[in-house]
Structure 1
Amino acid sequence: MDFKRIELIFLLTFLSLNIFLLYSYFGKADTLSYETAESANSVPFEEMKKDGIKFDEKKFSDEKLLVPYVKAKNENLLKQKVDSLPKDSGIQMEDDKRTLYRSLSEPLEIFPDDKKFDSKNIKNYAEKLDAYILNQGIFFGDEYTFFKYSATQNSIIYTQKAKGFRILDGTGRITFHLNGGNVIAYEQTYAGKIEVTGKSRNLISEKNAIEALYQNNELMQGSVISETPKLGYYQTLSLPKDGVGIYGPVWYVVFKNGNEEKIRLVNAIDGSIIKNNTKITTGETDSEQTNGSTKQEDIIELE
């Protein structure tokens, strides 16, 4: 008998069997991990539908962005600006030393007094305010962009930009106060000059932000989500002695519960719900905003 030939046949058979088993194992592992990932993404949305929560799943992106933390060095820049102006300039700092208030000597007409605010003309209103900001010397005005109209306070809100995203916690905001259709005064806060700090972080997706709200019982039965989440920044750490604020990325989510519009902030890195959002940019006072909610009429935005 040719033992070498038999030995070779056994060896080839053994190798073939091992290759087959390894292929089967890894193929099965790939299938299981794919199914698990798919289930993890689909189950919350299926449960939301069963709970009567209304939304268009196609509106929510799966894209996971890379976004860094940013820091803002304030150094009381607004106060420095005010102190350099003539005393009769009509601009003053509030008691917190960080909020500037200015009463306009000549009101700025946004729309006629005999008309009501019309959300269809919101771009025209924004264009008038943009021109005013740039031409009337509002400090650091080119760093702000139109955000929304607040009906309860009859004011128009701008937010400071930070590397392409909005600062949503009220530390970088201009609130234009209206009397009828005229701007009669404004309040301004300024976070400071924005710089990137550290490396970009992987963010959860828009879909993940919605799922996080549902899994944390923030979305009640019958809630309606008609807007896609917006990405912005929220102050996570303040170092007053150094005049530095650290800002992390958050998802800003608006949804309707009954006749009430609500706003929630979701940490865009770990998916946790930011509960202490009393300074969220809604135009409401802290006492009115302690539950992070606002009325439907407040959510009128340019975007």
Structure 2
Amino acid sequence: MGNCLYRYSIGNRRRRSIVDFKRVSIIFLITFFVLNIFLGTTYLQGQRSQKLSDLGDLAQIEERLAEENIKYDGSFSTKSLEAYYLSGVSSDLASLTLDGMALYTQNDLNGKSVTRDLSVLPDLIFNEADLVKQTSNFLASDNGVAFGEEYDYRKKLNGSNLSLYYTQDYQGIPFYDEGGSVTVNYQKVQEIPRKYQLTSLTQTHIANIEELREKQNVISEQEAIATLYVNSKLPERSKIQDRILAYTHIFSVDEKNIYLPVWFIWVKTSDDKVQIEKVNAFSNTIITTNVSDVTTN
């Protein structure tokens, strides 16, 4: 009887292993099938959009911008970096913060986004000059957040005037979307000398980051600007503000998120609206949505 149960247990484990292997294989195939569809769609969009050849010499882009009174700070980098198609999964942060759940609020059913009340914690009041450094130290400390050492401050991506924005990165290129970030809110508590208190934070995290294809070259910042120009995405008398290359989520397959390198470019129009333009850094095509991402100043 004991031998029968043992053989049954071994057989059952083998069947589960086979089922798990088949499931992983199916997910793998679906991921690459969907990715190839995306690549094909991107190619067709690129065929329909205007090309840099319409501009002529790429070096003329700065002259063209000046002619239309489009301003910008500094110069546009011509350096081409390398990046990947990546996959990752959203961490269940709620299960990792049980010890301090009195301070946490779960923002979604799966616990993939959590908010923490910091106003009740001591020693989180910092001078203005030390605010970023001390906040970074706090996040990476034992009393900070899970995976705190994986997040870096992103000045260019910081939105609100009363928050600090941190993200994960992969080989030096940050993530910029709803995942892989910590937003820390603060308030002024003293005028002279100016001091701020951290009040709350919201965190998401990307785990199990994997490369789906070999490393590829991406377009330069200058090429991204030129693509926006020839496709009429830079209005006359506008100002090109921050520009950054970042990974962003494009689609999901069975809880695996797929990420693509994208140039994010902030453009302030003559009526003080800021629009965020996005250029696929692999195909050099504009990523469009039904409604442009626009914020008022």
- The alignment's TM-score, normalised by the length of structure 2, stands at 0.69
In the alignment, the residues of structure 2 paired with residue 194 and residue 87 of structure 1 have an alpha-carbon distance, to the nearest angstrom, of: 27
Instruction: Check whether the contact 2:274–2:294 (CA below 8 A) recurs between aligned residues.
Output: yes
1:246 equivalent in structure 2: 258
Instruction: Check whether the contact 2:87–2:211 (CA below 8 A) recurs between aligned residues.
Output: yes
In the alignment, the residues of structure 2 paired with residue 51 and residue 87 of structure 1 have an alpha-carbon distance, to the nearest angstrom, of: 55
Q: Which of 208, 221, 224 matches 2:239?
A: 224
Q: Per-residue deviation at 1:272?
A: 2.0
- Give the letter for the 1:292 counterpart: D
Q: Per-residue deviation at 1:189?
A: 0.9
In the alignment, the residues of structure 2 paired with residue 38 and residue 274 of structure 1 have an alpha-carbon distance, to the nearest angstrom, of: 20
Gaps of 5+ in 1: 1-35, 112-117, 278-289, 297-303
Residues 115-173 of structure 1: CA distance to partner in whole angstroms, max 9, x if unpaired? xxx6xx3xx22111111112214111111111234346x22111122221111112111
Q: Which of 143, 154, 171 matches 2:150?
A: 143
2:224 equivalent in structure 1: 209
Q: 1:77 to 1:163 in 2, by over 3 A?
A: farther
In the alignment, the residues of structure 1 paired with residue 100 and residue 179 of structure 2 have an alpha-carbon distance, to the nearest angstrom, of: 25
Identity %: 27
Instruction: Check whether the contact 1:100–1:187 (CA below 8 A) recurs between aligned residues.
Output: yes
2:215 equivalent in structure 1: 200
Instruction: Check whether the contact 2:241–2:265 (CA below 8 A) recurs between aligned residues.
Output: no
Instruction: Check whether the contact 1:250–1:267 (CA below 8 A) recurs between aligned residues.
Output: yes
Q: Over aligned residue pairs, what C-alpha RMSD do you find?
A: 2.7
Instruction: Check whether the contact 1:174–1:187 (CA below 8 A) recurs between aligned residues.
Output: yes
In the alignment, the residues of structure 1 paired with residue 183 and residue 234 of structure 2 have an alpha-carbon distance, to the nearest angstrom, of: 29
Instruction: Check whether the contact 1:168–1:234 (CA below 8 A) recurs between aligned residues.
Output: yes
Q: Are 1:73 and 2:80 matched, yes or no?
A: no
Q: Which of 267, 291, 300 matches 2:280?
A: 267
2:204 equivalent in structure 1: 189
1:50 equivalent in structure 2: 67
Q: Are 1:257 and 2:269 matched, yes or no?
A: yes
Q: Per-residue deviation at 1:86?
A: 3.6
Residues 255-291 of structure 1: CA distance to partner in whole angstroms, max 9, x if unpaired? 33233443322111112222349xxxxxxxxxxxx63
- The alignment's TM-score, normalised by the length of structure 1, stands at 0.68
Instruction: Check whether the contact 1:90–1:103 (CA below 8 A) recurs between aligned residues.
Output: yes
In the alignment, the residues of structure 2 paired with residue 88 and residue 199 of structure 1 have an alpha-carbon distance, to the nearest angstrom, of: 41
- Give the letter for the 1:67 counterpart: A
Q: Which of 166, 172, 188 matches 1:158?
A: 166
In the alignment, the residues of structure 1 paired with residue 54 and residue 217 of structure 2 have an alpha-carbon distance, to the nearest angstrom, of: 18
1:14 equivalent in structure 2: none
Gaps of 5+ in 2: 1-52, 189-195
Q: Per-residue deviation at 1:192?
A: 1.9
In the alignment, the residues of structure 2 paired with residue 203 and residue 96 of structure 1 have an alpha-carbon distance, to the nearest angstrom, of: 37
Mark the structure with the bigger radius of gyration: 1
Q: Per-residue deviation at 1:209?
A: 0.3
In the alignment, the residues of structure 2 paired with residue 222 and residue 93 of structure 1 have an alpha-carbon distance, to the nearest angstrom, of: 44
Instruction: Check whether the contact 1:264–1:293 (CA below 8 A) recurs between aligned residues.
Output: no
Give the secondary-structure state (helix, strand or coil) at the position aligned to 1:127: helix
